[in-house]
Amino acid sequence: MKKIDFIKELEKLKKPVWKKIQEYLPQKHPQEHYAIVREYPERQGKYFRGGLLLLSTEMFGGQKEKAILTAAAMQASEDWLLIHDDFLDQSEERRSTKDKYCPTLNKMYGDELAVNAGDALHIIMWKMLGDNVRFLGEKQGWKIFDKMQDILLTTVEGQYLELDWIRKEKVLITKQEYYRMIGIKTGYYTVTGPLQLGAIIAGQSNKEIKQIEEWGMLFGYTFQIWDDVMNLTAESKIQGKEKAGDILEGKRTLTLIHLLKNCSSIEKNRITALYLKPRAEKTEKDKEYVLSLMKKYKSIDFAKKIAKDYSQKAMKLFDKNTAHLADSQAKRIIRQGIEFVINRQR
C-alpha cells in the first residue's frame, strides 16, 4: 500500500477551508486595519486542526461538506490565538518560509494594533460559529458552538498556567505540571477537540465522542513535545519561527525539566538566572549556553524518545478504539498523522 503523505493531504483539505475563511474577511474601511486582520490568515498555516476536524467527520461516517464552516472557525481561532500569544510572548517571527521572513504582527504594527486585529478575528470566528448554527440546525449547531467554547476556555486556562510560572518566577516545574499544562493548552485544542468536533458533525454518540480522549490526548502530547524539540533544532526558515525562541521566551518544557534534573548545581543556578531575565535582556549567548547544555546532557534526545513513545501508544489506542469503523482513507490519514508529528520539521 502506498504511504500517505500527510502534508499533501492537509494541503488538499486546506483549499475549501481557506475559500470559506475568505468569505468572512472584510474588505472595507478602515483598510489598514483589515489588512492587519488578514495578515495571519493569508500566511496560511498547515491547517492541522481544521484538517483533523474534516478527517474525523469522514472517518466517523459524516459528510465533509457539512464540516467546512466549523473547520474555518477552528482555523480562525488558531490565527487570533497566535496573534495574542505572539504579543504575550513578545515573539518575533511567525510562519516564515524558506523564501520569506515573516515577522509577528506585534513587531510589524506594534502591540496595540496587533491585539486589536486578534480581537477582530476572534469576533469573526464567533460569527462563523453563529452562521454554523443556521447551517447545521440548532441541535447540532449549538453542540458545536458549546464544544468550541469549552475548547477555547480550556486553552486559555493552559495559557494561564504557563504565564503564571513566568510571572511567579517558577522555573523548576514537575513533569506532572508540564503534562497538565500541555494537556489543556495543546492536547485538547490541537487534537482531541477538533477530532471531537468532527465526530459531533458525523452524528456520533456522546460515548464515542468521549472515547476519542483516550488516544487523542496522547496524540496531543506527542505533538507538543515534538514541537518543543523542533523549536530547539530546526532552522527558522524551516519551522517558520525563531530557532530556540522558547528559551528566549522562557518556556517551561520537558527538555528544560530534564536539563535541570541532570546538570550540575552551578549550571542549574545559571540556567535559572537566565530564564528569569526578561526576553528583551536575554542574548544570543544566553540562548546558545542553554542549547549547548541541552545537547551535553542529551535533554533533547530524551524529549524525542518520550514523544516517540507517546506516538506509539496513541497509535495502539487509535487502532483499538476505531477498529469498529470502516477502513477508510480518512482513517488511514489520521493514523499517518500520529506518525507524522514525530517526523515533521515545521
Q: Are 226 and 341 in contact (CB under 8 A)?
A: yes
Distances (CA, A) of 176 to 155, 173, 181, 302: 17, 8, 9, 16
User: For 73-90, how does the pLDDT look when each residue is reduced to its tens digit (9 = 90+)?
Assistant: 999 999 999 999 999 988
Radius of gyration of the chain measured on its C-alpha atoms: 20
Architecture of domain 6-230+309-340: Orthogonal Bundle (1.10)
Higher per-residue confidence, 302 vs 95? 302
DSSP label of 93 = B
pTM of the model: 0.94
Beta-bridge partner residues of 103: 93
Q: Over 80: is that where the pLDDT of 345 sits?
A: no
Predicted pLDDT at 115: 97
Mean of pLDDT over the chain? 94
The terminus-to-terminus CA distance of the chain in angstroms comes to 26
Predicted pLDDT at 96: 85
Q: CA-to-CA distance for 293 and 296, rounded, in angstroms?
A: 5
Predicted pLDDT at 99: 83
Instruction: Look at residues 307, 151, 162 and name the one whose alpha carbon lies nearest to residue 229.
Output: 307
Q: Are 158 and 185 in contact (CB under 8 A)?
A: yes
Helix (H, G, I), strand (E, B) or coil at 199: helix
Q: CA-to-CA distance for 61 and 326, rounded, in angstroms?
A: 9
- Write out the DSSP string of 1-32: -PPP-HHHHHHHHHHHHHHHHHTTS---SSHH
User: For 95-107, how does the pLDDT look when each residue is reduced to its tens digit (9 = 90+)?
Assistant: 888 888 899 999 9
